[in-house]
Structure 1
């Protein structure tokens, strides 16, 4: 890396629209290019379009059944 390279801010692709974005304090929406892209991404998480892979969590019915089974088994 040359000294000139270190003066140039890092550029990343906006996670929503893929537009090149300067990663600097001048961009309050980084890593997004705009407030719109940031809000679109937030909405996708809110409606569960975006998900982190992993084991499904237990819902209340599963927990109640598990606790009832533990009570029948004497808590062991």
Structure 2
């Protein structure tokens, strides 16, 4: 009995990729997609949203 290897979509282009140790670029389909994604992080095109924004200091409003 052989087990099926998991299949995922490339995070960048969406191409179907077999999740296997023989793919050095996983979860990406290719080195190109991996490098494009890395470049997006490096140029700060991707951002993680702040789920807990700090409150503004209300003491400055009293001085006006």
- TM-score of the aligned structures, taking structure 1 as reference length: 0.63
Deviation at 1:49, TM superposition (A): 0.8
* Unmatched segments (≥5 aa) in structure 1: 57-76
2:23 maps to 1:27: yes
Partner of 1:16: 12
Q: Hey, what's the Cα distance between the residues in 2 that align with 1:34 and 1:42? A: 13
Across the aligned residues of Structure 1 and Structure 2, the Cα RMSD in angstroms comes to 1.5
Query: How many Å apart are 1:21 and its aligned residue?
Result: 0.4
Which of 24, 41, 44 does residue 40 from structure 2 map onto? 44
Report which of the two structures shows the higher radius of gyration computed on alpha carbons. 1
Normalising by structure 2, we get a TM-score of: 0.74
Q: Which runs of 5+ in 2 are unaligned?
A: 54-64
State the 4+ residue runs in structure 1 displaced beyond 3 angstroms: none
CA distance in 2, matches of 1:11, 1:46: 28
| Aligned-partner Cα distance in 1 for 2:25–2:47 | 21
